[in-house]
Amino acid sequence: MTAPLINVPAHAKRGEVIAIKTLISHQMETGFRYSATGTLLPRNIITEFVCTYNGDEIFRARFYPAVAANPFLTFYTVATASGTIAFTWTGDNGFFETATANIVVE
Amino acid sequence: MSKHTRSLRLLTIVCLALFAATTPSSSAEIASANRRTDYDFMSRDTQAMQDDDAANPGMLWVQEGEALWAHKEGSGQRSCMDCHGDARFSMKGVAARYPAFDAERDRPIDLEERIINCRLNHQNATPFAYESKELLSLAAYIARQSRGAPIETGNDERLEPFIAAGREIFNRRQGQLNISCAQCHDDNWGKRLAGNIVPQAHPTGYPLYRLEWQSLGSLQRRLRACMFGMRAEPYPFGAPENIALEVFLMARAHGMPMDAPAVRP
């Protein structure tokens, strides 16, 4: 499994608005498609994404079958303190992926 | 097949049929002043997605390829790195020279076939299948090292007969719609085919992430998809016709900068 690609600035000024970008490898099979032999392909999608900043939840998203493969998310937060920004993706068939990024706030 | 393509495909076929009925049979090559990369034809949004490594989904394959490059494989337990060293230096500009002439086989081979041969002959490992995640990842990682390098394919004169063969296929009418590649890409570039702009078919960014595929794919996959749209029988992966088309198209794009892994609609 390919690791997610995370983009968080390594340094930021206190109070600065920073952009966070995440990209994860996932087929996002809708559950509505049929295979070449006519059998229904079971749904296999990411259902939830959560981002925490030093343990506090700052962003949460629910995913549905219409989300394209390899979902890319970008969102913003205020740099409040140095520490760790953590990401989790949860999905069908026990899919679970995590990633972290460190940020220094001056 | 991707999710939303069936009706689009039908529309494409209807439009192609109209093209075939209305365009002259002989095609003229694009004047050098009018040559444009396929990147130039894309929307600003798609260009932004390609340019930002954090947003370009092709980078997921590049990252995978970087791991595979260092992974020891086969009975010899050798990695790509053991022979070729750090790809960031040793593979610089390499993809811009492919397909390249292979003296042993007396014909050109593309980057994917080169990787397959390396796995067979030097790593003694099971070769990767065409379009497998592993093969695309390694190809993407290698091609990434040539970003910005001008395409040099065609400098080798041993390629000339193969370029000529590719040019012949490119200009040959084929399939149920009885059209040639050139009728779209030489004569009607810049116009719309269904929702998309017809580009000039300069393969600068392969393997590339196609939004329609929702995946990375090789130039051969792209050629097969075009054949399908022309209602012609696609050449199998690795077929001499596909390689000839690849050599011709890369030589036709001579001098253009590589932008792999590109993003295309």
Final residue of a structural domain among B122, B144, B166: B144
Cα(B37)–Cα(A13) distance, integer angstroms: 40
User: What's the number of domains chain B is made of?
Assistant: 2
Structure tokens that stand for A49 in this block: 């994404």
Statement to judge: residues B188 and B135 lie in one domain: no
User: For the whole prediction, is pTM greater than 0.95?
Assistant: no
Q: Average pLDDT of B40-65?
A: 96
Between B60, B211, B214, which is nearest A5 by CB?
B60
Q: What is the pLDDT of residues B100-126, one digit of tens each?
A: 999 999 999 999 999 999 999 999 999
Residue B133 belongs to domain spanning: 58-144
Q: Are residues A5 and B211, on separate chains, in Cβ contact within 8 Å?
A: no
User: CA B237, B173, B7: angle at the middle one, nearest 5?
Assistant: 70
* Residue A61 burial (10 A CB sphere; 0-12, 13-18, 19+): middle
Q: Average pLDDT of A84-106?
A: 97
Between B61, B63, B215, which is nearest A69 by CB?
B215
pLDDT surpasses 90 at B249: yes
Contact criterion met (CB below 8 Å) for B181 and B170: yes
The residue of chain B with its CA nearest to that of A65 is: B3
Contact criterion met (CB below 8 Å) for B171 and B183: no
Please report the pLDDT score of residue A2 as a whole number.
79
Supply the mean pLDDT for chain B. Answer: 92
Contacts with A69 from chain B: Cβ below 8 Å: 214-215
The residue of chain A with its CA nearest to that of B66 is: A2
Q: Map out the domains of chain A as residue ranges.
A: 5-105
Contact criterion met (CB below 8 Å) for B78 and B123: yes
Q: Is residue B152 part of a domain?
A: no
Q: Are residues A70 and B60, on separate chains, in Cβ contact within 8 Å?
A: yes
pLDDT surpasses 50 at B1: no
Q: Is residue B1 part of a domain?
A: no
- Which amino acid appears at position B261 of this protein? P
CATH number of the structural domain spanning residue B204: 1.10.760.10
Q: Where are the strands (E) in chain B, listed by range?
A: 100-102, 107-109, 192-193, 196-197, 208-210, 215-217, 263-264
Whether B15 sits among the annotated catalytic residues: the reply is no
Interface confidence (ipTM) of the complex:
0.91
- Chain A positions touching chain B (beta carbons under 8 Å): 2-3, 5-7, 21, 23-25, 27-28, 30, 33, 68-70, 72, 74
Q: Are residues A23 and B60, on separate chains, in Cβ contact within 8 Å?
A: yes
Between B53, B54, B64, which is nearest A2 by CB?
B64
Please report the pLDDT score of residue B101 as a whole number.
97
pLDDT surpasses 70 at B15: no
Q: What is the pLDDT of residues B148-202, one digit of tens each?
A: 999 999 899 999 999 999 999 999 999 999 999 999 999 999 999 988 899 999 9
Q: Is residue B206 part of a domain?
A: yes
Please report the pLDDT score of residue B239 as a whole number.
97
Q: Is residue B229 part of a domain?
A: yes
Fold of A5-105: Immunoglobulin-like (2.60.40)
